[in-house]
Structure 1
Amino acid sequence: MKSLFTALLLGTALCAAQAQTAAPASAPAKAPTAQQEKMKSCNAEAGDKKGDERKAFMKQCLSAKAPTQQEKMKTCNAEAGDKKGDERKAFMSECLKKKA
């Protein structure tokens, strides 16, 4: 009787463990975070770099901050040059939408 109870308890514990491990597999995949996207981008840019060169590049790339809106405005304004009116407005709109 004691061994039957032990076997039943062990079987229940085993079933519970399997149910817990199966739950995450059926959960929908989460969208990558901003840091994961940045890592993917920097990794692609690193290309064939190896060793210390790659390490230094990845450190610099991952620590680089996106330009502020004011910095983007200054850069786009300089690129706009002598454009006037609707042409300038369209150019600035497109320029400011671009990712750095």
Structure 2
Amino acid sequence: MKKLLSLMTAIGLTLSMATAHAADAPAAAASAPAKAPTTQQSKMKTCNAEATGKKGDERKAFMKECLSADKPATQQTKMKTCNVDAKGKKGDERKAFMKECLSK
């Protein structure tokens, strides 16, 4: 119980610090160009899209396996990830987004 309380306190403190830091971020973000996602971030995004529908230990095991696998993204996994990211876009906007997303 003490560990849980300590963990919750640490998370709360971290979130409050992140919120305070985020208040200063818009000014800095406006002047800096957007960074391309790292390989690990891309991998996480792909695995997360593939894990849709899995819960609990099944999801945890899948994510561990997926993230540790050293495989290049296949066209099918790229398509899944890009489709998830393209939600809300329609017509030419979606077509342009998908073209750019799949070419990465």
TM-score of the pair, normalised by structure 2 = 0.41
TM-score, normalized by length of structure 1?
0.43
Larger radius of gyration: 1
Structure of higher RCO (CA pairs closer than 8 Å, 6+ residues apart): 2
